[in-house]
Amino acid sequence: SGLWLDNERLQAKLRAQVSFLETTVDTSPSLLCSLDREGRISNLNEAARRAAGFDDLEQMRWHAFWDVFVAPGERHAARRAFEKAAPFHETSAFEHTYVNRLGEERTIAWSTAPLHDDRGNVRSVICGGLDVTERKRREALLQSSEERLRAGLEASPVAIVEYALDDTIIRWNPAAERMFGWTADEVIGGTAKHMPPDREDELAELMRRVRTGEVYTSVESKRVRSDGAYIDVEISAAPIRDASGAVISHMALFTDITARKRQEEELRASRARIVHAGDEARRRLERNLHDGAQQRLVALSLSLRLAQSKLEADPAASERMLESARE
């Protein structure tokens, strides 16, 4: 009786463990398949069914693994690999992409391991898979985004320089090479060669601003080329943040405004010359009026007063004075 009770307790415990294992397998987000020694699916969980696009688990049983989870063009190779791994079926890992019964493209990362019987022989092969379709899609989108960014940086007519938090340069595009004269190999990993020695305080202040999260635009300054020539530049910069929002570097855009500044200076000089010429013309006119027309007007006024004084006493003389004044 005691032995019977012990056996019942052992059986109950075993059933509980089996039930727990079955529940774990069925609710696992990972794909789990058990294959017989011919590579046919003998058991599987819900995650594997959903990934394969079947309506029912029973529809998938006893199908060859490669007929369900491998693209048609790769099935022969998958079958040959399974047969070659026999009889030991040592642990392995692989990843592949296929289209399931619903027309959905899936990428699964599989790992396999043998399951042995009491004699140590391989009874079945367990395949565990992780659906990495979404991860692969995000990676592809990220790579595409990075490629577009790289192409944009390479093709940009504006010099683009990325600075790490320790002030070293980690990106230097072709426009920067053309503008400043140093190649990327000469500057990446070092500090700014294009910064004039007398503007270090300005650089420190700009670095401080952008690292606190500030975005600034159209800051005019000067930079130096590899040949020692100074150029006028307009700088815009913004911080680059990681996923947590922390600033990890910053990007600066440089536009060469040397020609524009020279044109502005020439325009200011031209305006100054025009104003000076106008002042000279006005002063010349004032002198001419003072020395010419003004003197004649004063003389005319005196002649008219004299004619007026003789109008009654000597009309003939007055008339001659008026005639002279008129002429």
Question: Tens digit of pLDDT per residue, the chain (327 long)?
Answer: 666 667 777 777 777 676 666 666 667 889 999 999 999 999 999 999 999 999 988 889 999 999 999 999 999 999 999 999 999 999 999 998 999 999 999 999 999 999 998 888 999 999 999 999 999 999 999 889 889 888 988 999 999 999 998 889 999 999 999 999 999 999 999 988 998 988 888 888 888 888 888 999 989 999 999 999 999 999 999 999 988 889 999 999 999 999 988 888 888 888 888 888 888 888 888 887 777 777 788 888 888 888 888 777 888 888 887 788 777
* Whole-number Å distance between alpha carbons of 84 and 78: 10
DSSP 225: -
Ramachandran angles phi, psi of 162, nearest 5°: -110, 130
Q: Is the dihedral of CA 47, 50, 56, 58 positive or negative?
A: negative
| Residue 51 token pair | 């990934």
pTM (two decimals): 0.57
According to the model, what pLDDT value does residue 25 have? 60
**Cβ-based neighbours of 252, under 8 Å, separated by 6 or more:** 160, 161, 162, 163, 210, 235, 236, 237
According to the model, what pLDDT value does residue 285 have? 84
According to the model, what pLDDT value does residue 168 have? 93
Q: Which helix (H) or strand (E) holds 230?
A: strand 230-241
According to the model, what pLDDT value does residue 190 have? 93
According to the model, what pLDDT value does residue 19 have? 66
Q: Exposed e or buried b for every residue in 150-169, given b needs 16+ CB within 10 A?
A: eeebeeeeebbbbbeeeeeb
* Whole-number Å distance between alpha carbons of 107 and 312: 126
DSSP 190: S
